[in-house]
Structure formats: C-alpha cells, structure tokens
Homo-oligomer: A and B are copies of this chain.
Amino acid sequence: MKDLTEKQLSSTHIFKGRLLDVWSDEVKLPDGRSSVREYIKHPGAVAMIPVLPDGKILLIRQFRYPIGGVEIELPAGKIDPGESLEETVHRELEEETGYRAGKITKLTEIHPCIGYSDERMWIYLVENLTKTETNTDGDEFIELLPTELSQCMEWVQTGKITDVKTIIGLFWAEKLLFQK
C-alpha cells in the first residue's frame, strides 16, 4: 500500500458561528508538495431507528434550511459537551419525538461528509418505546411520521427519502428485522 498521508503544516481558524466551526490548513502531500484543506470541525452526532410497539419506524418530518425543503428523517442530533453517546440518544429521542427508550443498541458508525467535515455519527436501534410529553427544541419544528418499514424502503428506492443517515439506518433496520 502506498503512503497516502497528508501532514499538517499550519492551521488557520476561519469562522466560529453558532453551528459551524471552519478551518483552513496547509498540508504536505505524499509527494512533498503542499496544498490547502478547508473543513468543518463538528462535535459528532447520533441518529436512531426508533421501533414503535406496533413495529412501525418513527420517522420525523423537518424543514432543512440548507436544502430549502422538508425532509423525512430518522431522529438525530449533535452530542452536547460532556455527554455520552447513550445520553445523546435518550435526550434527542425525547426532545424530537416525546418518547423514552427502554433499550438502545449501537449498530454502526458513519462519516457523512469526509470531504469537508470531521463529523462522525453513530446509529442506534431504539426499542421498548414509551410516550412522554413532547418537548421539542426551541428552534426545531418537527412532525412525527410513524411508517411501516416496507413503506420506508419504498421511499428510499423512489428517492422520496434522500438523507444519508436515514437511508443507511433503514438499510440496517431492513437487514436486522428480516433476520429476526
């Protein structure tokens, strides 16, 4: 295997906003030349596949400003400082859907955006759900959309669902639930 490693020569902080933390680094390429890498530093996130008592998947509808439309998604959210992955799953599930989980299982880890972000995201299966009081975040407006898995997979195939964490979570759900 070739040495493909790029080494940091210098790092410049471009912008720190409410959400985005933007950096530009000068790097040394494997052949000795230099280049620039611009990227986002991200705290990491979780996404979850909540399975309701009737077997439906608890999807949500949410407006996504960068793409200018409402997306059908799995519940998800960023890790708060000091929070464990499990704590983030429980907090985001309750904030976004108003459910509590009796059982959560880590399935896999993904990188949504390796070209320009260091974001890592962990996907959990979330079961034994019980309803609490919905308490959505101040600037999140969310609609619940409980959906049969077969319908979810049709929406993946036809392109009605385009969000990557949701597509990957649903493929995992299909594999797991068909194996049961």
Contacts and interface: CB of A to CB of B under 8 A. Distances in A.
Interface of A: 1-2, 4-6, 14-15, 17-20, 22, 24-25, 27, 29-31, 33, 35-40, 61-68, 70-71, 73, 108-120, 139, 141-143, 157, 159, 162-165, 167-168, 171
How often does this chain occur in the complex, in copies?
2
B164 A164 contact: yes
A39 B33 CA distance: 31
A147 to B, nearest CB: 14
Contacts of A118: 66-68
A65 B6 contact: yes
Contact of A115 (B22, B66, B171): B66
Contact of A111 (B6, B22, B39, B162): B162
